[in-house]
Structures are given as structure tokens and as C-alpha cells.
Amino acid sequence: MQQLHLGYSPCPNDTFIFYGLIHGKVPCPKIQFIEQLEDVETLNQLALQGQLDLTKISYHAFGHLRHDYALLHSGGALGRGCGPLIVARDHTTMAELRGKKIAIPGRLTTANLLLQLHSEGFEDVLILPFDQIMTAVTQGKVDAGVIIHESRFTYPQHGLTQVLDLGQWWEEETGYPIPLGGILAKRSLGAELINQVDTALRQSIEYAYAHANEPQIYIKQHAQELDDSVIRRHIDLYVNTFSIDLGDEGIQAVEGLLSRAEARGLIPPCGLPLFAA
């Protein structure tokens, strides 16, 4: 039995996706998954240290990991209308925020990459766990914050105002859906094993859709926000057909994001293919 160290976030979309895989609901013979649930920036850093065989990752971080990790076709977060939001206490503009302090959920998050790709002048950032960003904005510790996950649905309750939807900006700028996070596997595992895991992960998502109520206890054990409607909206927003398979459009979106980041010098170049050979 081969043990694989698997990292993913405690957010509802990930626990929904991985439920079947780690609870033995889908066939994956001769593999034992040892799961580790962490926020996405911690997963980014663990992958940079080579500590995870398989992991959810920000596409920004993937730009720094392509020599050691290959992308899976299944399990990721990519879509339309699901990008990070920039919020502030008062009505303001991106031009007025240039040079101001902005809270971000991690330097290697796709949220930060989109902020930097939008335009220059947003280098003064404060890195905070994603669930602390809205508080930092309301308390005036920062001028604005880039929010992700459940915060997309709850920021009005904190008296905050949306400055910019970075996902909408990306979609209008490129025509692509927004690639937020993907699932990576160490290239050293070999293509045969990686493809086996990729197939099992797709089956795990299909199992969760077919048995929608079954993963709920597991999801709630780890969710930051326990309201059933927020959890449902979260899953509906971040789990979609691209999660089952990136497909041609999803692949083009990932390649487009990475090529723009390379052109700006935000990630190093890499000549390896996205997927395992």
C-alpha cells in the first residue's frame, strides 16, 4: 500500500470534492491518502518545501512549482463569477488605492497575482489569514482587503463596500474563466500513478454530486461559516464542470494566466508541460 500525503483546504468546496476520495467511496487500489487540511497559503508553502505528494494549490504558486509538480485535470477551482473581491470601508477606486496598504490572503495566492496583474502600484501588502482580512479593513489596519472564500458572501454584513471584482476584471480583460486553484501531484510519482489519482478524484466529485447530503457532516466539521445556505452557495460557486475536468477552455485559461504572470516577471519561466507525460 503506497501512502500519499494529500493537502487541501478546509473550505466547503474542497471538503466536498475530496470527501469520496479520502473516505474510500471511490476505487483507488493500493493507495492510502494521508490528508492534511490547511489554508491555501500554508499549502502553497508546504508544496514549495516539497512536503506534499498531492495538494490543492493557488495557480500563482503553481507558477513557481512547475518543475516539480504537474497539474491534474480534476479537482480545481476555476470558473466565472467566482474571483476575489477588493473591499474597503468607504467608496473608493483602484486609482485611489494605489500605494495604499492592502491586506491579501497570501503572497502566492491567485488573489494577490490578480491584484498585481491588474496594474502596478499595489506592492504595499499585509499578509493575513483570509478570515482575518475583513476585520483588518473594518478596524482601519489596512486601506482595503482582497477577500476570498466565504467572505465573498458575508462582507456586506461587516459594513464593507466592493471596490473591484478581480474575477470580473479578468474575464472582461481576457475572455477566460478565472483560474483560482488547481490540484498538483509531484512529477516524481510518475504519469501512471498521477493519472490513477486524477481519475479517482473525478470519481470523488461525481460521488459527492450523486450523494449530496452524505458529505455534509464532514464539510461542517471544517467550515469557517456554518450557515447551510452560505455553505451551499460556496460549493455551487467553486465546484462546477471545470472541477470535474478542466477541458480545453480551462487549460487555455490556466496557460493565459501563467503567460501573463511570466511576462510581468511575477513567476519564473518553465518549459515543461502542465500535465504529467
191's CB contacts (< 8 A; 6+ apart) are 276, 277
149 is catalytic: yes
Distance, CA of 122 to CA of 137 (rounded, Å): 16
Distance, CA of 193 to CA of 130 (rounded, Å): 33
**58 belongs to an annotated ligand binding site:** yes
Q: How far is CA 133 from CA 102, 123, 130, 145, 251, in A?
A: 9, 17, 6, 6, 31
177: which DSSP letter?
A: P
**229 belongs to an annotated ligand binding site:** no
Contact predicate 219/12, CB 8 Å: yes
Residue 161 is which amino acid? T
**110 belongs to an annotated ligand binding site:** yes
Give the HSE-up count for residue 56: Cα atoms under 13 Å, Cβ half-sphere: 29
Which of 149, 158, 222, 234 is the catalytic position?
149
Reported as type and span, the H/E element at residue 6 is strand 2-8
Contact predicate 118/173, CB 8 Å: no
**259 belongs to an annotated ligand binding site:** no
**57 belongs to an annotated ligand binding site:** yes
Task: Supply 198's cell numbers.
Answer: 486524477
The residues assigned a catalytic role are 149
Binding site residues for substrate, as ranges?
56-58, 110-111
Q: Residues forming the annotated binding site?
A: 56-58, 110-111
